Amino acid sequence: MRIVGVTGTLGAGKGTVVEHLLKQRGFAYFSVRDYLTEEIKRRGLPVDRDSMTMVANDLRAQNSPSFIVEQLHARAVAAQRDCIIESIRTVGEVEALRRLGSFCLIAVEADAALRYDRIVVRGSATDKVSFETFLANEEREMANTDPNKQNISACIAMADIHLTNNGTPEEFHAQLDAAMAKAEAAQ
């Protein structure tokens, strides 16, 4: 069983990677965002980026920096097929997934203004923010020395595959396919 993790900046195209791999390769899919949304609703909190960050940090602090992805990994093992875990945000998550088996981490980045335009169109509960708030949210999640908190920049640095999503969907898919082929040939 192969596990592909996806990390990257806010609105860069992590979901686009997931959609493409699901369609092209039939992977099972597990989302940190969905897992956290379940927990947020269970706690009776509003589903927004602040709750996502607070609940994720709380779960990691109470259990371990890799707790959330370990829960998703257990679901992936039960599915008994290659899978994607979307929205890897801590170094502990990357390290745990590397220890647990065949793992490849994909990092996605794009220009900030383009990413903001994408989240406005996406319109999820966590996306209804100003450009300034968008940038502040990202800054808060980019670097942190606390192992229980988000450190997207460190996760990006640990990635096996680095993608830039500033072009068309077709260009991005071609870039992803080429990178996956290269990674698979190296295994």
What lies within 8 Å, CB to CB, of 131 at 6+ separation is 113, 116
d(CA 14, CA 24): 15
Retrieve residue 70's tokens. Answer: 């370990």
pLDDT exceeds 90 at position 146 = no
pLDDT exceeds 80 at position 125 = no
Predicted confidence at residue 135, as pLDDT, reads: 92
- The answer to whether the predicted template modeling score (pTM) of the entire model surpasses 0.75 is yes
What lies within 8 Å, CB to CB, of 160 at 6+ separation is 104, 105, 106, 183
Segment (H or E) for 174: helix 169-186
What lies within 8 Å, CB to CB, of 149 at 6+ separation is 57, 60, 90
Residue 84 phi/psi, 5-degree rounding, is: -115, 135
pLDDT exceeds 90 at position 69 = yes
